């Protein structure tokens, strides 16, 4: 099969992107085959996200389903009409034999749950026994004839345009996933006006309330310097400002959920949003104090809860000289010491 120059250049351009490079231990021919396969799957609308290794494993699992070992064999890729179908253990044998892999036989479940997940979701790879139990060892996987036919013509004149035309009525999986994620996000507006997208969940709902209700009331015109999210460690981070305040080095597992700074007061708020765990208790307070000892601003420690029943569960754990805010009573604060209201405490 001879590639038309335009398509060849597009594949070369694609390979030059970091996301599509494969492990150097594989032969040049195998690397070219895998990167070309990723290019084709990208044209089919498969999201090219994840690590280089994850993309590589997806590509070679797909090639096993089509009984393709070399780039020339793309023109004769097998599909479900040919009767070719491999079970997950057979796919492992195929990639070990032909792609310089050493995958464990015990990792067969990863083939279904990870390597082929996007491809089966997009119906590019089909199940040979569509209604069978997902743990059925006799169930095999093969290539959808519709997509196999497009691949057989790869390199022909105007292949990309023809492919786009054939796929016009099919919503790409990359767009379907993106749309789904957008529908399942909480939009949060920072005091600066910047908007963030949180994943769903009560913990993130509480963080949204902290930013949009707690800080406007008690934050003295605070700016948010850091926000973490379960899906994205650094959803927002103002590293420059944190450095100016001599704040400790950012490490997601050490930080509270939200860090905010009031220039008017020269206060830094360290706010923990508690849904099921991790209030600012005495041990946590000692740790945070050690980490912020060189900070040029005074520190205010706040534990936030969605409601009073949740607060009641953790009340005995709250450290002295810290603050508590409960979202269902946003205009009130609980101060765990009697000598002052909201503010930093001197040693």
Q: How far apart are CA 40 and CA 287, in angstroms?
A: 51
Q: How far apart are CA 344 and CA 109, in angstroms?
A: 53
Per DSSP, the three-state class of 224 is strand
Q: Within 13 Å of residue 220, how many CA atoms lie on the same side as its CB?
A: 12
**Which architecture characterizes domain 5-172 according to CATH?**
Orthogonal Bundle (1.10)
Q: Within 13 Å of residue 162, how many CA atoms lie on the same side as its CB?
A: 13
142: which strand partners? 126
The lowest-confidence range among 13-17, 100-104, 170-174 is: 13-17
In this prediction, residue 5 carries a pLDDT of: 45
Phi and psi angles of residue 268, each rounded to the nearest 5 degrees, phi first: -110, 130
Q: Within 13 Å of residue 226, how many CA atoms lie on the same side as its CB?
A: 26
Strand 223-227 with 258-262, pairing: antiparallel
User: Given pLDDT bands bounded at 50, 70 and 90, which one contains residue 4?
Assistant: very low
Whose structure tokens read 């292949």?
Answer: 159
pLDDT digits (tens, 9 = 90+) for 161-220: 999 999 998 989 988 877 655 555 666 667 677 777 777 778 888 988 999 899 999 999
Comparing CA positions, the residue from 298, 267, 307, 301 lying closest to residue 284 is 301
Q: Does the pTM exceed 0.75?
A: no
The domain spans of the chain are: 5-172, 184-335
Q: Within 13 Å of residue 64, how many CA atoms lie on the same side as its CB?
A: 27
pLDDT digits (tens, 9 = 90+) for 272-321: 999 888 899 999 899 899 888 889 999 999 999 999 999 999 999 999 99
Comparing CA positions, the residue from 5, 328, 305 lying closest to residue 155 is 5
User: Given pLDDT bands bounded at 50, 70 and 90, which one contains residue 24?
Assistant: low
**Which architecture characterizes domain 184-335 according to CATH?**
3-Layer(aba) Sandwich (3.40)
């Amino acid at each position: 099969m001879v590639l038309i120059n335009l398509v060849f250049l597009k594949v070369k351009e694609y390979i030059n992107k970091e996301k599509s490079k494969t492990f150097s231990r594989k032969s040049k021919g195998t690397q070219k085959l895998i990167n070309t396969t990723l290019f084709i799957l990208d044209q089919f609308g498969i999201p090219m996200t994840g690590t280089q290794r994850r993309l590589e494993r997806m590509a070679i699992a797909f090639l096993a389903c089509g009984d393709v070992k070399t780039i020339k064999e793309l023109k004769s890729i097998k599909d479900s009409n040919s009767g070719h179908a491999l079970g997950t253990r057979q796919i492992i044998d195929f990639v070990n034999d032909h792609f310089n892999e050493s995958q464990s036989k015990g990792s067969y479940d990863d083939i279904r749950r990870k390597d082929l997940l996007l491809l089966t979701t997009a119906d590019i790879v089909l199940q040979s026994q569509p209604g069978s139990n997902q743990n059925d060892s006799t169930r095999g996987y093969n290539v959808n004839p519709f997509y196999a036919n497009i691949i057989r013509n790869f390199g022909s004149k105007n292949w990309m345009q023809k492919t786009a035309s054939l796929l016009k009525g099919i919503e790409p999986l990359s767009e379907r996933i993106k749309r789904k994620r957008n529908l399942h996000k909480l939009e949060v507006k920072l005091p600066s006006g910047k908007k963030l997208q949180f994943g769903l969940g009560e913990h993130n709902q509480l963080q949204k309330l902290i930013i949009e209700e707690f800080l406007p009331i008690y934050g003295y015109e605070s700016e948010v310097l850091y926000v973490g999210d379960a899906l994205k460690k650094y959803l927002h981070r103002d590293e420059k400002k944190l450095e100016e305040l001599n704040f400790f080095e950012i490490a997601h597992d050490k930080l509270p959920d939200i860090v905010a700074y009031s220039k008017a007061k020269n206060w830094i708020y360290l706010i923990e949003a508690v849904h099921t765990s991790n209030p600012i208790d005495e041990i946590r307070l000692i740790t945070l104090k050690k980490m912020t000892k060189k900070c040029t601003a005074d520190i205010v420690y706040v534990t936030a809860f969605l409601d009073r029943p949740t607060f009641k569960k953790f009340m005995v754990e709250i450290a002295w000289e810290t603050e508590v805010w409960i979202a269902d009573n946003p205009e009130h604060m609980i101060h765990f010491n009697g000598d002052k209201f909201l503010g930093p405490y001197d040693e």
